[in-house]
Structure 1
């Protein structure tokens, strides 16, 4: 999808192809319910999952999340490949991206794991990036976060809003965030550091085993640690990752010893990794002109004429409005791999930029028949339908996708835009309400449901009852969270 800005009364977003970057740090009425310390003293897996889900939805409204279906598919496939090898998995895992050039990643309650785009951008292999994700998975399976929350609750009143605030602050300003966590909980600095080091060592140990079991190279762990240490040594301030994941010499040495327990073998990067990295560099890490220079330089190097570098250059040409140059590259790549989702996504953008919505729809219809629940195909198809004024088709595609998976933020955004274009304001406000709900902004979500009811009309009994039932469900959920 061509890059453009979508503006509503409640949110401003920008989209690259099918990648949406959301940044709304000062939304009104978005404070989480206050949850007292007693609720955390017995944080069961079920309660952890409930709290983790609402915390993750709230995080979506506070950090610049990346809603890019190609990147989302890759990260969740890779993450869950390792989760499948883990022990003590008590709930499904979900993986997310934050648009941030700093090297960092973090896990929250309930199996939600977030990686900065910068972490992948600086990785030199898929195994290096996998080592970070495996480490965060291990924090969750070993219940480090849940135990930390329980321990802090014993030192005084604890609120979910306070925990979330510290997590977000640590992500944006790690040094201030760690200080905020310790100050807010009144914990001794040394005991907090010791507790963290113990968790980090255990997460390293479990994570290395996860990587090896999932087919990645465990030797990438000490290699990535050494890279972080080198970068931190020459930086003015310590890396964000090292504030939230303290790196001692003993930890580096320990990771090397653990990796050496596994036989050395060559582990090739997957093509999806190389294409996702090219996408991140082209659209999230560098400015367009800088990215263009980067890929031209890489292509000129010995062995650099790869599909990933060609793809990355095509993206920079498209973003620089050099559509014909982008088309030439993508057409060559599509001749070799006509069903590659990365190339289909880029070619859709090109066709729509050329005003060829019907041709894009025809191409995507065939792909949709083969992959009806794939979010990359469906969202591209829906976008082409919107551009081609086939609004009812777009609604059909988006609603089916949300029935299959109801947490796709971009689908709600596109659905709201489509209903507004159709002047169906009842469903437009309901789609807006769903967006607010995705960010755990319950008061705003309920307000928009009330606005939807105003547009439904009193005679439409079925729709009135359905929306009233949804409003009651959300109010009940909010009340339950308050009682946790």
Structure 2
């Protein structure tokens, strides 16, 4: 993370100015599960959650249902192949840097810049497999423990330091931390060669077991190494936080000596969503539209359908919905399959929604849901179309039939209750939204507000009381762990 946000930089400088005992960095624990002596899995998760809170509060986490679903789909496939029982969470950071990072407890962040720069899906999977291996081998937790840090006193500082060290902090972030004990944390969290080697080895095994192309790992690393030689002082962030050497590339190639090459085709999900990442990270959407037009005219693209999708999405982002619709029709023609694709149908519904053609949007979302029931984005689209049309009862019914609740649905539910004047239910839904984000104190505040609303019956108040007790236990557990 580049930490360009001034508020986050100030928070970084303040929070990192906390006492840290510096230990002998040359005496790292041996590799292997038995080296984890200090931090329990619960404590690792707590550190990861603390860092996640800071990422959300910074505003750099990208709230995009389709990209988040996709990255978690790839992540689940890799974790299953890895055989880990750690509950992983994969999320997107809106930043053009070529990077990814892991946090203790199973949190893995992927930058839009990494997705946009990869040339094949297996390259993206290779980086994610590497980061998953850092988590499953508890590298960060072992380094934290080896530094004799006091993690429960410096929890927030540690979360930010991990982001600064492994999210690719730029000069501003480093300057904010310099002169404080937080700067020492950043330096101590740099991965050792032994850890990188182990993450490469296990990541390669994971790629093989998951069916991705294992040759993508040395290919991607080699391309990054070449970029490092060409750019020198402006090397990709991935190289700064995960130094790639010729030795590492050679070792990756050696591991493939007995593996027969087999071409692995990129999925349509990857092709479309890579373009989505490019558009979402853009700070100049009009220039992005023009770039798509130019490259299409010059036929400089790897996949016509995906490139047209990028143009349609960029046109929609600048509010040119009529042209976006026409471009999308061309994408459907190029795709050429009768069942279309959920990414295309979600964009179609979203365009109609912004054109205030609510019935058309609703029809598109509902028809697509029947073909692609696993798409959360389409469910959100249906609820949004009903809400914008002020068909609130139907929108609430759609949420109830959506299956598993999540933060996005609770937030939509809260807005509907607010629009219909149901204050108590609004605050309960908002409380559940915060609970999903591990913001337990904020969740408790919402339920306490709900508790004070007039007109509640005995059963509603009993339910609120029970939920408050559950949340208060979580806060108490977190305080107890910090005190250990």
TM-score (norm 2): 0.83
How does 1:82-481 map onto structure 2 within 5 Å?
82-87=78-83, 89-153=84-148, 159-170=154-165, 171=167, 173=169, 183-184=181-182, 196-233=192-229, 234=231, 236-285=233-282, 287-302=284-299, 304=301, 306-334=304-332, 336-337=336-337, 338-372=339-373, 374-401=375-402, 404-406=404-406, 409-457=407-455, 459-481=456-478
Q: Kindly indicate whether the alpha-carbon contact (under 8 Å) linking 1:330 and 1:347 is maintained by their aligned counterparts in 2.
A: yes
Please give the alpha-carbon distance, in whole angstroms, between the structure 1 residues aligned to 2:261 and 2:129.
19
Distance 2:469 2:444 in 1: 9
**Alpha-carbon separation, structure 2, partners of 1:308 and 1:68:** 18
Distance, in Å, in 2 between the alignment partners of 1:280 and 1:318 is: 14
- Which shifted more, 46-55 or 252-261? 46-55
Q: Deviations over 1:46-92 (max 9, x none)?
A: 443455345434532235111212112211111111111113x1222
- Is contact 2:98-2:113 (8 Å) kept? yes
2:71 is the counterpart of 1:75: yes
CA contact 2:100–2:238 (8 Å) conserved in 1: yes
Which has the larger displacement, 459-468 or 306-315? Answer: 459-468
Displacement, 1:245?
Answer: 1.3
**Pair 284,174 (structure 1): closer, same or farther in 2 beyond 3 Å:** closer
| CA–CA separation in structure 2 for the residues paired with 1:272 and 1:375 | 14
- The separation in 2 between residues aligned to 1:155 and 1:325, in whole angstroms, is 56
Task: Give SS of 1:115's match.
Answer: strand
Q: Give, in whole Å, the separation in 1 of the partners of 2:71 and 2:283.
A: 20
**CA, structure 1 residues 242+126, in 2 after alignment: closer, same or farther (shift >3 Å)?**
same
How many pairs are equivalent?
A: 451
SS in 2 for 1:161: helix
1:96 aligned counterpart, secondary structure:
strand
Shift of 1:41: 5.1
Distance 1:116 1:188 in 2: 19
Q: Which residue does the alignment assign to 1:18?
A: none
Deviation at 1:383, TM superposition (A): 0.7
CA shift in 2, pair 1:285/1:345, >3 Å: same
Q: Return the offset for 1:416.
A: 2.3
Contact 1:63 1:98 in 2 (8 A): no
Q: Distance in 2 between matches of 1:391 and 1:244?
A: 48
State how far apart, in whole Å, the 2-side matches of 1:287 and 1:237 are.
Answer: 22
Q: 1:24 to 1:392 in 2, by over 3 A?
A: farther
Quick one: distance in 2 between partners of 1:166 and 1:348?
41
Report the secondary structure of 2:266's partner residue. coil
> For 2:239 and 2:255, how far apart are their aligned partners in 1?
20
Question: Which structure ranks higher in relative contact order (CA pairs < 8 Å, sequence separation ≥ 6)?
Answer: 1
Contact 2:315/2:324, CA 8 A, preserved across alignment? yes
Q: Distance in 2 between matches of 1:187 and 1:357?
A: 52
1:106 is paired with a residue of what secondary structure? strand
Q: CA deviation at 1:364?
A: 2.5
Q: CA deviation at 1:229?
A: 2.5
Q: Which runs of 5+ in 2 are unaligned?
A: 22-35
Structure 1 CA distance for aligned equivalents of residues 195 and 179 of structure 2 = 16
SS at match of 1:85: helix
Q: Name the CA shift for 1:201/1:454 in 2 (closer, same or farther; >3 Å).
A: same
- C-alpha contact 1:23 1:63 (8 A) present in aligned 2: no
Distance 2:370 2:146 in 1: 51
Q: Contact 1:364–1:380 at 8 Å: present in 2 too?
A: yes
